[in-house]
Amino acid sequence: MKDTTLRINGEERKLSADTRTTLLDALRNHLGLTGSKKGCDHGQCGACTVMVNGRRINSCLTLACMHDGDEITTVEGLGEPGDLSPLQAAFVKHDGFQCGYCTSGQICSATAMLEEIKDNWPSNVSGSLTGEAKLTLKEISERMSGNLCRCAAYPNIVDAIREAAEASS
């Protein structure tokens, strides 16, 4: 057992858990934050995506005890029914989900991904490693390809992200 203090969605949360506990299982099984989902537990599907200190990660691939003092943002921290973030609202409008199980991960991932584009991080489909990163359909699709959606709402996810990003810029 190890004591860890996490700052989750702006709130300090104390955790006393087995050192083998992943950040994802800490959220879901210990802290009652079940918005982050477990689809594979191996970093293959992206359903568990959260932001740690502003960067998106697969929370199933990291142990909770490694994040003492870290700032963690989960989907619950982005908005709630009646007060959705623009991206969450765009997902509803464009039907960027069906069963909803990958959705938290998609939204956390997209939230961080848009910052990466703003910071001109290149992707596998970028024309240049050092140039300006552009918000094209292909860039969105590539950068969101770590988040599987078996209902396959991909075209709607791309539309939702593009609309929310364009509205904010």
Partner 1 sequence: MTRHLKMDTPATARLLDQLPSRLTGTPMDRPDGPKKVSGTATYAHEWQIEGKTFGVLVRAPISKGKLVRIDKSSIEGLPGILGVFSDDRFLRNPAQGTANEAPIQGVSEISYFGQPIALVVAETFEQARHGAHMLELVCEADTDGVYDPEASNLSPEQPEDDQLDQGDLDKAMAEAAFTVDSTYRTPNHNSAAMEPHCSIASWEGDQLTLHGSYQMVKYNVNELADSLGVEPEKVRILSPFVGGGFGSKLGIAPEAVAAAIAAKEIGRPVCVTLTRQQVFENVMRRSESRQRLRLAADETGKLTGLGHECLVSNLPGESFHEPVIQATHFIYGGENRRLSIEVARLNRMCAGSVRAPGEAIGMQVLENAMDELAHVSGIDPVELRKGNIPEIHPEEDMPYSSRPFAAALDEGAKRFGWDKRNPEPGKQRDGEWLIGMGMAAAARVNMLMESKARVKLIDDGTAIVETDMTDIGTGTYAILTQLCCDMLGLAPEQVDTRLGDSNFPKASGSGGSVGASSSGSSVYLACQDIRGELARRLGCDEDELQLNDGKASGGGKEVSLIELLAGETIEGEGHIEPGETMEKVQQATYGSYFAEVAVNAVTGEARVRRMLGVFGAGRILNHKTARSQCLGGMTWGIGMALHEAMEFDPRDGHVVNNDLAEYHVPVNLDVPQLEVVLLEERDDWASPIQAKGIGELGLCGAGAAVTNAIFNATGVRVREYPATLDKILDGLPELEPA
Taking residue 54's Cβ as centre, other Cβ atoms within 10 Å add up to 10
- Contact call for residue 67 and partner 1 (CB under 8 A): no
Q: Which of 28-36, 65-73, 112-120, 127-135 is the region at the interface with partner 1 (rule: CB under 8 A)? A: 28-36
- Contact call for residue 18 and partner 1 (CB under 8 A): yes
> Exactly one of 2, 5, 68, 92 binds partner 1 (CB under 8 A); which one?
92
> Exactly one of 115, 155, 166, 168 binds partner 1 (CB under 8 A); which one?
155
- Contact call for residue 104 and partner 1 (CB under 8 A): yes
C-alpha closest to that of 24 among 64, 54, 55, 52: 64
- Residues in contact with 83: Cβ distance below 8 Å, sequence separation at least 6, in sequence order: none
Which DSSP state fits 149?
Answer: -
CB of 103 to partner 1, least distance (A): 5
Beta bridge partners of 8: 11, 72
CA 160, 163, 51, 147: dihedral to nearest 10 degrees? 30
User: 3-class SS at 3?
Assistant: strand
> Exactly one of 55, 66, 152, 168 binds partner 1 (CB under 8 A); which one?
152
User: Which of 7, 89 has the CB closer to partner 1?
Assistant: 89
C-alpha closest to that of 110 among 61, 158, 166: 158
Please say whether the beta carbons of 49 and 147 come within 8 A.
yes
> Exactly one of 52, 113, 144, 165 binds partner 1 (CB under 8 A); which one?
144
Please say whether the beta carbons of 145 and 137 come within 8 A.
no
Q: Which of 51-59, 65-73, 90-98, 114-122 is the region at the interface with partner 1 (rule: CB under 8 A)? A: 90-98
User: Which of 120, 148 has the CB closer to partner 1?
Assistant: 148
Residues near partner 1, by CB under 8 A: 17-18, 20-21, 25, 28-29, 32-42, 44-45, 47, 74-76, 78-82, 84, 88-89, 91-93, 95-104, 107, 125, 137-138, 140-142, 144-159
